Structure 1
Amino acid sequence: MENIKKLIEENKLDLSTLVVFTRAENRIHRKEYQTIKESGLTPAQFGVLEVLYNKGDLKIYEIMEKILTTSGNITVVIKNLEKDGLIKRNADPQDKRSCILSITDKGKELIESILPKHIDNIKNIFEVLSDEEKIVLKNILKKFKNL
């Protein structure tokens, strides 16, 4: 018990930094997801539509890399987006076992109706920081990419 108290005390700054970081991340995501949820999409559905809209046709694994979601979840997300006519599957000419996903006109219309409000929401979230602070924060956070 005494060793744990000592360990906590010795690492107080690291532990409190993690708590502050996690609380900030949770608040940012809650605020970010407001505009997504208002559109009737889940954050994962929005992520798939947004990446297909901005990057063009992609394979499922490429989408997973870009939106940082799990394979179990992405399959259901893609199936639902396809069922709603927002994306379509095309056979991959180089690999018959895989498919390439593309956004439909209906999907483009939906994402184009959401993005302006979503981008404005992101802008509002980060208004608490100056441009200089945003750059510093990005540079600090990039230090964690190789963990």
Structure 2
Amino acid sequence: MNRIEQALQENQEALHSLVVFRRAANAIVKQEVETIKKHNLTVCQFGVLEALYNKGDLRIQDLIDKLLSTSGNMTVVIRNMIRDGYVVKVPDTKDRRSFLVGLTPLGRERIEAILPEHYENIGKIFSVISPEEQVILADILKNFKNLK
């Protein structure tokens, strides 16, 4: 048995799990994005609005960390959202080198109009498994949190 065959044999279940996980993730994302696109937002724009709505004003770096974005991409997203009137950027009084991003009344109105439908959509997506299975799934997935 060569090295490839041996590695394949030793990791068969892990490889199968990866394929199943990716297919499930792709199906979930595809379904989730429908609601966001219907409201003419990008996934990143929606993420910014949702984070600011739920967490309050945030530094750009905090948004990058929460949304797993790059600084270049986030800069463009924030600039476009300022242009569209959804967010404002103000100097952080605690750190003069940083800026805080916050919702405008229009941004708050926009996210409040979308969130009920978004939450219902997520509930529908995950209704294929029971609430107990959802807890188990979340616990299992947390095991991957500290991979390097």
TM-score per shorter chain, which class? over 0.9
* CA RMSD in angstroms, aligned pairs only: 1.2
Aligned equivalents of 1:126 and 1:133: distance in 2? 10
Runs in 1 of length 4+ with deviation above 6 angstroms?
Answer: none
Residue number in structure 2 paired with 1:96: 96
Aligned equivalents of 1:129 and 1:47: distance in 2? 25
**1:138 Cα deviation after fit:** 0.7
Worse-superposed segment, 114-123 or 3-12:
3-12
Residue number in structure 1 paired with 2:2: 2
Deviations 1:27-76 (A, max 9, x none): 10110011001100000000001100111111111112222222121111
Aligned equivalents of 2:4 and 2:92: distance in 1? 55
Matches within 5 A, 1:108-123: 108-123=108-123
TM-score (norm 2): 0.95
TM-score (norm 1): 0.96
One-letter code aligned to 2:127:
E
SS of the residue 2:122 aligns to: helix
Deviations 1:1-23 (A, max 9, x none): 93212221221111011010011
One-letter code aligned to 2:98:
S
Q: Which runs of 5+ in 1 are unaligned?
A: none
SS of the residue 2:127 aligns to: helix
State, as a whole percentage, how many aligned pairs show the same letter: 51
Residue number in structure 2 paired with 1:64: 64
1:77 maps to 2:77: yes
One-letter code aligned to 1:11:
N
Matches within 5 A, 1:1-147: 2-147=2-147
One-letter code aligned to 2:83:
K
Q: Which runs of 5+ in 2 are unaligned?
A: none
Aligned equivalents of 1:109 and 1:19: distance in 2? 39
